[in-house]
Structure 1
């Protein structure tokens, strides 16, 4: 099974992401847009994993310690590709998110899983293979995304699969983060 660790979002946050995505959609000539239920932030991508190794990942997740922390979705951008760009919503710099990514990556790597060595660039994919109209103002669009605030209160182990021809992400394990005492 194809797995990754992720942060999932509440319905109100996903609705705001969908609003951003709809702006892209109505200005696009073509594209594959992320389904509402699939909107997430990838922490660590794992790829194909056997059932035995899946259990090891569940164990790593269950031993994870951490506290709920704030997260701000801000701005947008794209990764340019020949077949159409990948458009994403950005994440305001967040030390706790970076620390969580590094901690999870280290634990997964120590357990023998291959982990990409590229710089962590947290984002939420809104669409792939997107080709926009030539008059679309990407700079202006990015500036209109001015801070969607949320909390990270759970880390999910997600399974990626095609069901009835649709890419579907399903939570297969999760770890709730601790609330800080006030």
Structure 2
């Protein structure tokens, strides 16, 4: 079984700028530069046949290059406490169209429909009950605004769960 997802990878310059925000919350598990991405569709564990079907389905998705911009930060909550810190990716019609096309392709490949609303973001840190409060970090980074970049491809990634963090490996890229 392979644990996979579809994502856009920001350029190194954007990753470096995001790394500069990753401090000030003791107990946060900050992401490595190699793990920064905009998830278009988390698929989960698949067998080798479903894996091949996903690759075939993604090859049919048309990507018309478009600009992506990071502006602002936020967090996700679960069980009444913050679970993750993220950089906000500005919504756009082009990004929504790509995400929708990826979702349709996943369904054609036999995947169950995604039920969560698409919130474009780049996860910066995972939090747990031992993490410090995030209010100061949110205030300090709320005006984050990075130069836009051109999305010219998206990729299929495999996620291997490790003891302290997941390790993401790009398996296939789709222009």
Structure 1 length as normaliser, TM-score? Answer: 0.85
Unaligned runs of 5+ in 2: none
Greater shift, 130-139 or 50-59, is seen at 130-139
Counterpart in 1 of 2:138?
A: 138
Tell me if the contact between 1:46 and 1:115 (Cα under 8 Å) persists in the aligned partners.
Answer: no
Q: CA separation in 2, counterparts of 1:41 and 1:126?
A: 11
Q: Distance in 2 between matches of 1:81 and 1:166?
A: 19
Q: Which has the higher strand share?
A: 1
The 2-side partners of 1:113 and 1:124 are apart by: 23
Q: Which residue in 2 is equivalent to 1:16?
A: 17
Q: Deviations over 1:132-178 (max 9, x none)?
A: 357725234212x02331111111000000357642101111111xx
Distance in 1 (alpha carbons) for counterparts of 2:134 and 2:50: 47
- Is 1:36 the counterpart of 2:33? The answer is yes
Question: In structure 2, the residue corresponding to 1:109 is in which secondary structure?
Answer: helix
The C-alpha deviation readout for 1:52-97, integer Å capped at 9, x for no partner, is 1111111112222122110001100111245643100001121100
1:16-95, aligned counterparts within 5 Å? 16-21=17-22, 25=23, 27-82=24-79, 84-95=82-93
Q: Following the alignment from structure 1 to structure 2, what is the Cα–Cα distance between the partners of residues 98 and 125?
A: 18
CA contact (8 A) 1:74 1:148 kept: no
